[in-house]
Chains A and B, each alone.
Chain A
């Protein structure tokens, strides 16, 4: 158990819908990262938040957004969902803003039908 929690574990929704994925980092960690893992793209970095502020952005679609709240939990919002958004979404956390040792949660499997 990494100490990072993610909910829900599974999510099935239809195209065009909007969903919110939630992540709680390990106790004491200030950075939260979101990753997307699909069979053809591998593990792709989406975005990093550090202590409530956005720190780095990857190939995150404009339909996707995230935020980190004062209690340090984070939410990833996915809107206007397409079939191609079906993937595993992982949250990871680390102590600092430039800390590379990241601890991953169990992931949320999103299926868009």
Chain B
């Protein structure tokens, strides 16, 4: 069974602080997605990383895919209250010709003003 473990599960920080969320697995994924979800809404795709070691930046968010494509991290610089939400990583199964994704349990981020 392929699992994605996210840590931490909960994070409460002050505005302006930096944070990192981790997504780890013992399985290799062909790609990894990060989503952000707000209460009562569907997840919104933030980024897809495909190549081992790949780094992508989205304004204050930096995403990295591990060299072995088993792990990923999301780093937020100078967090703002608008960053509050549930962050989900999702891995695409290697050598699968389907779009099936394995989701982590999520990290709930609260940024206090």
A residues in contact (CB < 8 Å) with B: 2, 4, 31, 33, 35, 42-45, 48, 55-56, 58, 90, 92, 94, 96-107, 109
B residues in contact (CB < 8 Å) with A: 30-31, 33, 35, 40-45, 48, 88, 90, 92, 96-106
Are B99's CB and A31's CB within 8 A?
yes
Which A residues lie within 8 Å of B103 (CB)?
35, 42-45
Which A residues lie within 8 Å of B43 (CB)?
43, 90, 104
Looking at chain A's contact residues, the main secondary structure is strand
Are A101's CB and B45's CB within 8 A?
yes
Which B residues lie within 8 Å of A31 (CB)?
99
Are A102's CB and B42's CB within 8 A?
no
Are B45's CB and A42's CB within 8 A?
no
> Beyond A42-B103, A43-B88, is A101–B48 a contact (Cβ under 8 Å)?
yes
